[in-house]
Structure 1
Amino acid sequence: MAPPPVGALRDLLHQHHHDLPDTDPERILALVSSGRTAGADTDELTRLAIAAAAGLTAEEPGYARLAARLLAGRIADETTGQGIDSFSDSVAAAYAEGLLDPGFAGFVATHAATLDALVDHAGDDAFEYFGLRTLHDRYLLRHPRSRAVLERPQHFWLRVATGLSDTVEQAGELYRLMSRLAYLPSSPTLFNAGARHQQLSSCFLVDSPRDELDSIYDRYTQVARLSKFAGGIGISWSRVRSRGSLIRGTNGRSNGIVPWLRTLDASVAAVNQGGRRKGAACVYLDTWHADIEEFLELKDNTGDEARRTHNLNLANWVPDEFMRRVEADADWSLFDPKEVPELVDLWGAEFDAAYRAAEAAGRAVRTLPARTLYGRMMRTLAQTGNGWMTFKDAANRTCNQVGAGGGVVHHSNLCTEILEVTSDDETAVCTLGSVNLAAHLVDGGVDFAQLATTVRLAVGALDRAIDRNWFPTEQAATAHRRWRPLGLGVMGLADVFAALRLPFDSPEALALSTRIAEEVALAAYDASADLAAERGAHPAYPLTRAAGGLDAASRAEDAARADRSARESASPATPSASPTTAGPTASPSATPTRKATPQPKPTPTRTAKPKPSWVIPMKGAEITSCYGQRWGTLHAGIDFAMPAGTPVRAAFGGTVEKAGDVGDGYGISVVVNHGNGYLTHYAHLSTAKVGVGEKVGAGETLGLEGSTGDSTGPHLHFEVHQGQMWNQIDPAPFLRARGIDVGC
């Protein structure tokens, strides 16, 4: 007769095998018998059986389900052995060990009976082995000393759902979604929901350190703190001077960015997301940076190991100007950011003008064929899988935050799925979740009604996560509460195509994918609009492109498309080409919505005949007055007709030099000289006062129709009104930085 543990294991295997006809319990038993020790107990035999079943998954996928069932049973035995029989028991045990937030534990204790009744351990059968093994190894709460798990998979799901909910009803809805794997929050949320430090966000975009020692070491500290609590890091290094640059304080020469990135590499390896998984960081570098070639070698498997960073990921932050020169087989110039600091914060036509002006002024460190550098990028990408191509101008044209003074997108994150503005004071953050499309298949199709319900519940949970979030750095807290960004993705599209027998490249697959994306987007916007109606818009909403409305967004999108078409039809750019335009042409993303928001609702229709967007060229620019009243006017020296409603983009913004009331209610103005008069449109400031150092810009629409008939051409005049006093912005520094002689 077989020893009792083997007999029990045989019964267990046959119990789990009942609906898996292609698995063979006796084969598992044979493998267990060949690997067991003489005194093996039930726990050892179960571990051997799990390993044996998992090893047969490549032969028969059903073994993955069998191994998962065995592992789920082992987890249940482990928790029961510690006296944990319910969800509230699990929370009490974890709280007693100092793992959970007191408020969360108190909520569970108050509603223990109701929450315990929500748990359905049959949900464990949704797992296959790899998923459940990952959950067991990385996500389930463990006793600090014994390392025994303190929760079963369904307790884990309910902990996360409760941690993201205000009521038991919300927790129940979210738990049922997660239990059937229809929606999953990101890993930091799964790690930390309900914990003492509820760091629930996935991605952090840290702006490049300033070109100074204190700032660089401050960035190391920020990255370490973010990584400690499971954040993935995207960071730019484009502001730091290049190798060979003069250090005036010591009269020495800089070693460039590589030694700094070596230190960052070691920090990422050391601070490994709380010991649960490897640290993850991606460094972005502008393509014009003089250290770009050394940057591309950081992941090479050959060469000097002292100049390699094997833990960091690398990405190129590529302007359109570079790609135009690659296409034209023209030269590309590399610069030391200490000499051209303005390039980091410019994009689009404004970047093109400043970059070409710097070339013309002879400020480049060196020049090389654009295709040579592009080839080096492609080689790095092919050999290391790193050095991702991310496009700076497209990012800024489409990011909703790059609106009315919102800021500039300087880079993306590790996975390049988020685009947000960053600055020295703001670390962009995104709280993420993913909808499992495969869990929404019914009767040979996608259940779009259920999909919309899932999306709405997910948006609500993500929004609540922002309020519960604990931020490792003040810069992250400032940005996240100001912008309140959340990201909702999908997974399982390939599973949907396979289940519906649709070839991936078929028109039917394309149509289904398009509809899924539309339904998800519209349901998310709908839920967001409801939240705004209930709680008010997020603080930075007036700065977004969405705040301009659908009609404005459509016109700007048309203008950007026309601008790109004009560039493509023009002759290829060369290093000696003159500057083309004075400001970026924005292309806001239209935001479809089904419900009214607290803001006035625009008419969501395009104009029948889109109007052109005029961008005032910089060529021949001069300042007519630099002192006295500081009018700061710009004469561009061209003639053209401008219809009413034409958007005019400003060549520059500026910083207020005196504080005061906006007494006449006008704020920033854009004036276009027309014959003997002016066509004027005033942009209203959002506040009644203007503070010293407040940054302002311009980009408005003409209220009258006419042509620029005088000899000076368009006359742009930027000012901030303060009662009867005008506090003008001097554009001279802006133009000098671009190599244009302002004459004073």
Structure 2
Amino acid sequence: MRQVINREGIREKLDITKIREKLLRACMDLEVNMVELESHIDSIYQVDITTKKIQESLINQAVSMTSFEESDWTYVAGRLLMMETEREVYHKRGFSYGQFSRTVKKLVELGVYDRRLLEYSDKELEELEKAIDISRDMLYDYAGANMLVNRYLLKYDGIIYELPQEVFMCISMLLAINEENRVEIAKTFYNALSLKKISLATPILANLRVPKGNLSSCFITAMDDNIESIFYNIDTIAKISKNGGGVGLNISRIRGKNSTVNGYFNASGGVVPWVKIVNDTAVAVNQQGRRAGAVTVALDSWHVDIENFLELQTENGDQRGKAYDIYPQVVLSDLFMRRVEADLPWSLFDPYEIRKNYNVELC
């Protein structure tokens, strides 16, 4: 008799019927042959295998079977992942869908959810629970399901503690919280979100229901040509990234390479060393573990370091001057474009020398 280890750590008989029921649900209304996936159960089985491992193996098998000709296998994998997530959450917190009011109160108590959700009365929560359609978990292919599960579902003590439709409903409740007929508006938001009719920016999707969550996606800043401003901006970038935001940074005020520093000639390293620090900050401080830090670094086309800047992500040259994890951009002026059109030479300047000699800030 073949045995498996369930989520409670107890040995039990391998029940092919339960697996087949899941596969039937995952393959429903899709153009796939369920028998093909079911036939892999024997090859998956091994002594002391867990039920969770069997489910994960079936998901991976469905992903590997996805092709241009049989693209629906990716939806099978997505559905299996959603079912596995629901089962995992049920095992960890003791209840699944169908107890929305209890979910909200429990996660607020644990400090996972924003307390403003409790501004909704028990009656309102019960009405909103009726609007939750758990079948919409089955609308995702594997890529979408994997991103939703691993990037956006909130955790408590490192364990996923909420379910996809709860995410959409809680976000909808907070979007509608100040409206006069907030329950109906929350339902409208929920239907649009859960049916994928609208898409929200990552900070809103990730942070709207958490205490003091940052809801802004993008921030713009500029470095001045002094140590205080440079490291203030690096500190700011780290904090923004920590809270799930992306940053656009202009560094055109930084003096050029070999410029004077405190009266010492050829002392400046130019913009590249600072870009490297920004790059490493974006790597070190990701966006709440959900995605890598996102920083765009801009330099004006007149800056004397523009050629070195353009080499930041090439494979040739000194690797110490490379920054592969930021998004470099060049700021082009109307004057530059007019010179391009007229096939005229372009001029490069050190912003420090311009400030010192003409008391003019170029940007």
Q: TM-score, normalised by structure 2?
A: 0.88
Aligned with 1:162 (options 138, 162, 173): 173
The structure with the greater share of residues assigned to strand is 1
**Which amino acid in 2 is paired with 1:157?**
F
CA–CA distance in structure 2, aligned partners of residues 38 and 317 of structure 1: 62
Q: In 2, Cα distance between the equivalents of 1:235 and 1:174?
A: 34
Alignment of structure 1 residues 438-453 onto 2, 5 Å: none
Equivalent of 1:334 in 348, 353, 359 = 348
- 1:69 corresponding residue in structure 2: 79
Structure 2 partner of 1:365: none
Report the counterpart of residue 39 of structure 1 in structure 2: 48
| 1:49 corresponds to which of 44, 58, 76 | 58
Query: What does residue 140 of structure 2 align with?
Result: 127
CA contact (8 A) 1:5 1:41 kept: no
- Structure with a larger share of its residues in helix: 2
Structure 1: runs of 5+ lacking an equivalent: 346-744
Query: Which among 129, 132, 146 is matched to residue 116 of structure 1?
Result: 129
Question: What is the CA–CA distance in structure 1 between the aligned matches of 2:258 and 2:266, rounded to whole Å?
Answer: 9
* SS class of match (2:24): helix
**Distance apart, 1:110 and its partner CA:** 7.0
Q: Secondary structure at the match of 1:10?
A: helix
Sort the Cα spacing of 1:126 and 1:186 in 2 relative to 1 into closer, same or farther, 3 A.
Answer: same
Residue of structure 2 in register with 1:101 after alignment: 114
Tell me: CA distance 1:301–1:88, structure 2 relative to 1, closer, same or farther (3 Å).
Answer: farther
Give distance in 2, aligned partners of 1:318 and 1:280.
Answer: 22
- The 5 A counterparts of 1:624-643 are none
Structure 1 285/40 Cα, relative in aligned 2: closer, same or farther at 3 Å?
same
Bigger CA radius of gyration: 1
Aligned partner (choices 155, 160, 163) of residue 152 of structure 1: 163
| Conserved? CA contact 1:242–1:291, under 8 Å | yes
CA distance in structure 2 between the partners assigned to 1:340 and 1:190 by the alignment: 45
Partner of 2:101: 88
- Equivalent of residue 79 in structure 1, options 89, 92, 98: 89
| Alignment partners' CA distance in 2, 1:110 and 1:192 | 26
Secondary structure of 1:242 counterpart: coil
Q: Equivalent residue of 2:220, what SS? A: strand
Q: Distance in 2 between the 1:57 and 1:180 partners?
A: 24
Note the C-alpha offset of 1:185. Answer: 1.1
> 1:196 and 1:109, CA in 2 relative to 1: closer, same or farther beyond 3 A?
farther
The 2-side partners of 1:198 and 1:250 are apart by: 46
- AA paired with 1:38? V
Matched with 2:237 is 223
Measured in 2, the distance between the counterparts of 1:116 and 1:175 equals 11
State the alpha-carbon separation in 1 of the partners of residues 102 and 311 from structure 2.
53
The aligned counterpart of 1:273 is 287
Please name the residue that 1:580 is paired with: none
1:112-135: CA deviation from partner (whole Å, max 9, x where unpaired): 212222211121222122101110
Indicate the residue corresponding to 2:298 in structure 1.
284
| Residues 256-309 of structure 1, C-alpha deviations (whole Å, 9 max, x = no match) | 111111111111111101122110111010000000011111112222121111
CA distance in 2, matches of 1:215, 1:114: 52
Question: How far apart are the structure 2 equivalents of 1:100 and 1:12?
Answer: 31
Q: Aligned partner of 2:198: which letter?
A: Y
The residue number in structure 2 matching 1:263 is 277
Q: Deviations over 1:171-207 (max 9, x none)?
A: 111011001100111111000012112211111111x
Q: 1:558-573, aligned counterparts within 5 Å?
A: none
CA contact (8 A) 1:94 1:141 kept: no
* Counterparts of 2:218 and 2:90, CA distance in 1: 36
- The amino acid across from 2:184 in the alignment is E
1:31 CA drift (Å): 2.4
> How much does 1:321 deviate?
1.9
Write the letter of the residue equivalent to 2:164: P
Query: Residue 208 of structure 2 corresponds to which residue in structure 1?
Result: 193
Match of 1:10 among 3, 20, 31: 20
1:183-582 map, 5 Å: 183-206=198-221, 208-248=222-262, 253-340=267-354, 342=360, 344-345=362-363
Is 2:218–2:245's contact at 8 Å kept on the other side of the alignment?
yes
Q: Decide whether aligned partners of structure 1 residues 101 and 7 sit closer, same or farther in structure 2, where only a CA change above 3 A counts.
A: same
> CA-atom RMSD, angstroms?
2.1
Q: CA 1:36/1:302 → structure 2, altered by over 3 Å: closer, same or farther?
A: farther
Pairwise CA distance, 1:109: 5.6
- 1:204 is paired with a residue whose SS is strand
2: CA distance between counterparts of 1:260 and 1:276?
Answer: 26
Partners of 2:121 and 2:361 lie apart in 1 by 53
Secondary structure of 2:353's aligned partner: coil
Query: Within 5 A, what are the aligned runs for 1:608-647?
Result: none
Give distance in 1, aligned partners of 2:187 and 2:362: 47
Q: Contact conserved, 1:93 with 1:150, CA < 8 A, in 2?
A: no
Q: Sequence identity of aligned pairs in percent?
A: 32
1:28-47, CA deviations, whole angstroms, 9 ceiling, x for partnerless residues?
12223213322334322221
SS in 2 for 1:275: coil
| 1:5–1:45 CA contact under 8 A, matched in 2 | no
Deviation string for 1:442-469 (max 9, x for gaps)?
A: xxxxxxxxxxxxxxxxxxxxxxxxxxxx
Q: C-alpha distance in 2, partners of 1:101/1:249?
A: 54
Provide closer, same or farther for how the CA distance between residues 130 and 108 of structure 1 changes in structure 2, counting only shifts above 3 A. Answer: farther
Give me the whole-angstrom Cα distance separating, in 1, the residues matched to 2:104 and 2:263: 57
Equivalent residue for 1:27, pick from 20, 32, 36: 36
Counterpart contact for 2:89–2:162, Cα < 8 Å: yes
Q: How many residues align?
A: 341
> Cα 1:109–1:219, aligned 2, differ >3 Å: closer, same or farther?
farther
For normalisation by structure 1, the TM-score amounts to: 0.44
Aligned residue in 2 for 1:530: none
Q: CA deviation at 1:252?
A: 6.1
| Conserved? CA contact 2:258–2:265, under 8 Å | no
| Letter of the 2:141 counterpart | E
Alpha-carbon offset, residue 80 of structure 1: 2.0
1:168 CA drift (Å): 2.1
Runs (5+) with no aligned partner, structure 2: 3-12
CA–CA separation in structure 1 for the residues paired with 2:26 and 2:321: 54
**Does the CA contact (< 8 Å) of 2:154 and 2:161 recur in 1?**
yes
Distance 1:276 1:174 in 2: 24
